[in-house]
A and B are shown apart, each in its own frame.
Chain A
Amino acid sequence: MTSNSSIGGLLRRPEAGAFLGLVAVLIFFAIFGGVTFLKPAGMSSWLNVAANLGVIAIPVGLLMIAGELDISVGAMVPLGAMTVAVVSGHFGLSIWLGVALTLSFGVIVGLINGYMVIRTAVPSLIVTLGSLFAVQGIVLGLTVLITKSTSVALATEGPAKAIFGDFVLGGQLQAMVIWWLIVTAFYIFFVHFSRFGNWIFAMGGDKVSARNAGIPTERLTITLFVLSSTSAAFVGMCQAILYNSAQVAGGQSFIFNAIISVVVGGVLLTGGFGSVVGIFFGTITFAIVNQGIYYTDFDRNWSSLIIGVLLLLAVLMNNTFRKMALSYSSKKKGAKT
């Protein structure tokens, strides 16, 4: 534990840049946005955004650590929302059937993505670009065919509403915040404490060596794609249950927002480096900038500028920290021969 206890050790960790970025935007918006921004109402506004984004950003980030990319999440959010709304709203079937079908569609699209990536030599960006458009087409086509509308209402009651799409803790935080914290804890264990995490990093570092070392790279790739598309479908489903309706459009913003959160969180775009905690911080940072602008006197239109600058700064900072991590040798240089 010696090397992680010092400040230098903390700076060499993948989440160092993300943490400093988070502190910076917190201070910035606390000054310009005033205290309301940090009061429960203000906090829940950005925590809700962070939660919905974070549940998707972590599996997307894990894929990036493993050297892959999944942009089809942008279509999985409306797919998840529409599935539950059509099944349980339009047809009036049990909400649990809607939930089960939504999650199985997530698994199916993930399996298709993963299988196509390992069976063809096509980069996953292109494969998932294809499935992004294909799924969007299916959602729009089928929804209009079945319901003659692009917006479907859904009324949910009872435990399903409470579990997936209600406000908790005083009525401002979405249930998704709880889900987000649970899955983040799960991912932290999975990636940084179990041995499977090591396999993801090895795969992103050098796929051929990883396979030769006996890591089931193909199974792992498929698993990660299933995780990301199912998570996106889950978020869409919860939003439909929360807002009592689903639209065929929307969800596209999740693609770039997730990638920004992941990169701000210190994940290397080419794979092999990053951390779940970093993605967690990156997501909160993004959400604060996204929502914090409402609490300042600045024009809302400037928030994209801030996000763009933030992204570039984060990447530069993360590069510096990664170089520090690489060149680090030992604290006790003089004592060694």
Chain B
Amino acid sequence: MTAPILSLKNVNKSFGPIDVLHDINLDLRAGEVLCLLGDNGAGKSTVIRLLSGVHKPTTGEILMDGKPVSFANPREASDHGIATVHQFGGTFPLMSIGRSFFVGLEPTKGWGPFKIYDRRRANEIAVKAVQSFGITRIDDGDRLVGGLSGGERQSLAIARAVHFGARVLILDEPTAALGVKQAAHVLRIVNEAKRRGLAVIFITHQVMHAMAVGDHFAVLIRGAIAADFHKGEKTREEITDLMAGGETMATLEAEIEGYMQAHDGHPPQVASPA
């Protein structure tokens, strides 16, 4: 097995008196999709914020290529090749595709104080980068980002990260707000990023989406890693149960089943006002 690009070693994070993460150990390898699963409040977002430079671990360390790293801000994390794409793509709805693709790194032409933004080149590169991820519907870099579908925006953001040399891609619930078709779109792009040798951290609620692309799964429960396993080691039901916090899903199902039998399939009676 190849050496991990990114590792968390015994990472703890607390905000004041509240401990959010306990002894997190995670390894991430190139060409691998790590699915980070867990219920709301389990600490998924905190893990992402540590990796993307928003917070620093209270104790423990983050290793990149075996060397300890510390990010003072998100900019430093992205300089190390860690790119985070948020739910809505983090792009600018009223900017053109070309302009938003190159925000902060605009290509220019000309010299001295007369350097001008090279719109034609920016559009060309942006469209080519997005199309190489299979989004052939985007063919005009002057279109506004806000006119794209949710899946296309995600794709644009991912293509942008890859173009600027990201090695680790963190996708924060990229499929949460999307329909079935759009989600499939994004999953294909995750696979494409993996094929290109990026390490992907994929955060999701949806076990189906995780199983479609994941190689490696980590389940967080109340700030600790409750399970860390590879593809094929657990069934979908087992993962769902883990995410819901142990056996609760089965218990809940049994409870509903029992209720339905006892009440002949009728919904609960609401006490009517006398």
Residues of chain A having any CB pair with chain B under 8 Å: 1, 3-4, 189, 193-195, 197-199, 201-202, 205-206, 209-215, 268, 272-273, 322, 325-330, 336-337
Given A202-B95, A337-B136 in contact, is the A215-B103 Cβ separation under 8 Å? Answer: yes
Q: Which residues of B contact A330 (CB under 8 A)?
A: 139-140, 143
**B147 and A193 contacting across the interface, CB-CB below 8 Å:** no
Given A3-B140, A199-B104 in contact, is the A206-B90 Cβ separation under 8 Å? Answer: yes
User: Which of B92, B143, B144 is the most central at the interface, judged by chain A CB atoms within 10 Å of its CB?
Assistant: B92
| B165 interface residue per 8 A CB criterion | no
**A202 and B147 contacting across the interface, CB-CB below 8 Å:** no
Can you spell out 26 A-B residue pairs with CB atoms less than 8 angstroms apart? Answer: A189-B116, A194-B117, A197-B117, A198-B95, A198-B99, A198-B103, A201-B99, A202-B99, A205-B92, A205-B100, A209-B90, A209-B91, A209-B92, A210-B103, A210-B104, A212-B74, A212-B90, A214-B78, A214-B104, A214-B105, A272-B95, A273-B94, A326-B93, A326-B94, A329-B140, A336-B139
Distance between B181 CB and nearest chain A CB, rounded to angstroms: 16
Not counting A1-B120, A198-B106, A212-B90, a sample of 4 additional A-B residue pairs whose C-beta atoms are within 8 angstroms of each other reads: A194-B116, A326-B144, A326-B147, A330-B139
**A195 and B108 contacting across the interface, CB-CB below 8 Å:** yes
Distance between A25 CB and nearest chain B CB, rounded to angstroms: 27
- From A194, A209, A215, A272, contact of B94 by CB (8 A): A272
- From B75, B103, B143, contact of A202 by CB (8 A): B103
Q: Which residues of A contact B115 (CB under 8 A)?
A: 194-195
- From A3, A206, A212, contact of B142 by CB (8 A): A3
Residues of chain B having any CB pair with chain A under 8 Å: 74-75, 78, 84, 90-95, 99-100, 102-106, 108, 115-117, 120, 136-137, 139-140, 142-144, 146-147
The 10 closest A-B pairs by CB, nearest first: A205-B92, A195-B106, A213-B104, A214-B104, A193-B116, A273-B94, A209-B90, A212-B74, A272-B94, A326-B147
Q: Which residues of A contact B143 (CB under 8 A)?
A: 328-330
What's the Cα separation between A205 and B115 when bound, in Å? 24
Distance between B101 CB and nearest chain A CB, rounded to angstroms: 10
Q: Which residues of A contact B74 (CB under 8 A)?
A: 211-212
**A325 and B144 contacting across the interface, CB-CB below 8 Å:** yes
B102's nearest neighbour on chain A, judged by CB, is: A198
What's the Cα separation between A268 and B106 when bound, in Å? 23
**A201 and B92 contacting across the interface, CB-CB below 8 Å:** yes
**B144 and A202 contacting across the interface, CB-CB below 8 Å:** no
**B103 and A272 contacting across the interface, CB-CB below 8 Å:** no
Q: Which residues of A contact B84 (CB under 8 A)?
A: 212
What's the Cα separation between A322 and B95 when bound, in Å? 11
Q: Which residues of B contact A329 (CB under 8 A)?
A: 140, 143, 147
Distance between B138 CB and nearest chain A CB, rounded to angstroms: 9
Distance between A28 CB and nearest chain B CB, rounded to angstroms: 31
A65's nearest neighbour on chain B, judged by CB, is: B94
Q: Which residues of B contact A273 (CB under 8 A)?
A: 94
**A201 and B94 contacting across the interface, CB-CB below 8 Å:** yes
What's the Cα separation between A214 and B77 when bound, in Å? 11
Given A326-B144, A328-B147, A329-B143 in contact, is the A198-B117 Cβ separation under 8 Å? Answer: yes
Q: Which residues of B contact A214 (CB under 8 A)?
A: 75, 78, 104-105
**B103 and A213 contacting across the interface, CB-CB below 8 Å:** yes
Given A272-B94, A273-B94 in contact, is the A212-B75 Cβ separation under 8 Å? Answer: yes
Distance between A65 CB and nearest chain B CB, rounded to angstroms: 10
Q: Which residues of B contact A327 (CB under 8 A)?
A: 147
**A336 and B137 contacting across the interface, CB-CB below 8 Å:** yes
B141's nearest neighbour on chain A, judged by CB, is: A3
Distance between A275 CB and nearest chain B CB, rounded to angstroms: 12
Distance between A121 CB and nearest chain B CB, rounded to angstroms: 17
Distance between A130 CB and nearest chain B CB, rounded to angstroms: 30
What's the Cα separation between A33 and B253 when bound, in Å? 79
Q: Which residues of B contact A212 (CB under 8 A)?
A: 74-75, 78, 84, 90
Distance between B116 CB and nearest chain A CB, rounded to angstroms: 4
Q: Which residues of B contact A202 (CB under 8 A)?
A: 92, 95, 99-100, 103-104
B83's nearest neighbour on chain A, judged by CB, is: A212
What's the Cα separation between A322 and B142 when bound, in Å? 14
User: Which of A3, A198, A199, A214 is the most central at the interface, judged by chain B CB atoms within 10 Å of its CB?
Assistant: A198
Q: Which residues of A contact B137 (CB under 8 A)?
A: 336
**A272 and B93 contacting across the interface, CB-CB below 8 Å:** yes
